[in-house]
Amino acid sequence: MSTEDQEAQEDELLALASIYSEDEYMRADTAQGGEIYLCLDLPSDFVVSIKSNNETNSYAHNFENTVSYLPPIVLNFELPPGYPSTTCPIFTLCCKWLSPSQLTLLCQRLDDLWEENKGSVILFQWIQFLKEETLDYLNIKSPYEIEVSGNGVQDWMQSPNESLTDGVLLERGALDRRAIQDAQSVPALVQCILDINEAQQKKDFDRKQFLCNICFMEKSGSECTHFKACQHVYCNYCLKDYFEVQIKDGQVHALNCPEPECTSIATPAQVKDLVDEQLFRRYDRLLLQSSLDLMADIVYCPRPSCRTPVMQEPDKTMGICSACKYAFCLYCKTAFHGLSPCKVSAEEFIELMKEYMTASEERKKEMLRRYGSFDKAVEDFKNREWLQENSKPCPNCKSPIEKNDGCNKMTCTACKKYFCWLCLKILCQENPYKHFDTPLACINR
C-alpha cells in the first residue's frame, strides 16, 4: 500500500468517527473498514405492509402500520490496499425491508459512483446517496409493500442463474452477492420494524422541550411522560405524585391522563418508571385482582390468609385452592358440604324464595342445586300472604281470623274471646256490645 493511499484511508476513517455516533458507525478492530448504519428520513404518515413469497406464511398479509422510521441500511465495507488510487472498497449492503433486487440496484449505483470518482475517497458520497436518495432512486412511496424473499435471508446456493466474479456483477439483472436481505422471518421483521420505530421516536421525543400543564414548567422530553393515545405530555415529577396518590387509594384504574375528561390510560411500563418498587407491586397486584374480578369463572379462596384465585369448573359446586388445598363450596364459600343445601339466614331465605317464584327455569334449576327444594316454602309463603291480606290476628291468641259476614264483634274460633274487628280491642265477655255504644270507641262504625 502506498503512503498516499494509507494516509487517505486513515483520514477518511477518522472523519467518519468524528461525524457519526457510535450507534451509526462502528470501525472494524482488525482491518481498515467498518459498518455504517443509515436510517432513512421517511415522509410523514408513511405506511408499510408486508408481502411474503412464502405462501404458507399467512401472518405476513396481516401487517400494515404507519411508521416514522424503518430499520437501517447497513453498509459494511473494507478498504483494500489499492484504495482510493486504483481499487474500489469491498462492501456489502444489508437491509431487512429492501428486497434483494432493490439492494442489487443500490449496489450497482455504488459501483457507478466509484467509476465516476475513481482515485478519490468515495465513502461519503456512498453514504450521502444511500441516506438521501434511496427512496427516490428505488421509487419507494407510501403505501410501501415490503417483499420478503422466502423465509428471509436469500440462499445463494439456490440462485443458479447469477453470474458473479469476486462479488461484482458481470450481468445486469442478476442478484448481487453483496445485496443481503437479512429478515430471518416475517414475524421477526414485523417486531423489528415496531421496535426500531418506537426506539427512534423515543430518541426524538427525548430531545424536544415540552410544557407541563400541571406545574407549567418547560422540561425536556427525557424528563416527561407521553400519553400516546391523546398526545398529552406531563413532567415525570408531577405524574409521580399523581400516580402515588391514586395507587395508595387503590384506584389503579384511575391512572389516566390528568387532562380533564381525557380517558387515555397509563401503561404499566410508564407506571413502573415513575413509582418505587413497593408501590408498583401494589399497583400490579390490584390491577391483576381487578382483572380477575371481571372474569366470571374466577373465585377467590375464602380463607382470609390465602385469597388465591381459583378457576371454576363447569357444572361443579366444589372449588379446591391450589395454594392451601382448602375445599369449599363455590356458592356459599364455606367448607364443601356435598349434596346438602347451602345454609342461609331466614331473611336471606325469604328473599331467595321471592326470587325463585319469578325466576327462569334455568335459574330455578341452579337455585335448587344450591339451596334444595323451595316448593313447601313457597306454598307456606303464599298462605301467609293470603292471610295477611284477608285476615286479622286475634288480639288474645294471635290466631288469624277472617271476617266474612255480620257485625264488627268477632269471636275467635281458637280461644273464644270477643274482640272488635275495627280496633282489635278485646271485648267484655258479659256485654261485648257495650263497646259499640261507648263514645270515642267504634260507635256507628
- The dihedrals phi and psi of 381, each to the nearest 5 degrees, come to -65, -40
Q: Grid cell 388445598 — which residue?
A: 325
423 is catalytic: no
From the list 215, 262, 397, 407, the catalytic residue is 407
Angle at 303 between CA 299 and CA 308, to 5 degrees: 45
Nearest to 59 by CA among 180, 169, 191: 191
Cβ-based neighbours of 97, under 8 Å, separated by 6 or more: 48, 70, 71, 146, 183, 189, 193
Residue 92 φ then ψ, to 5°: -135, 150
Distance CA 187, CA 151 (A): 10
Show which residues are catalytic. 407
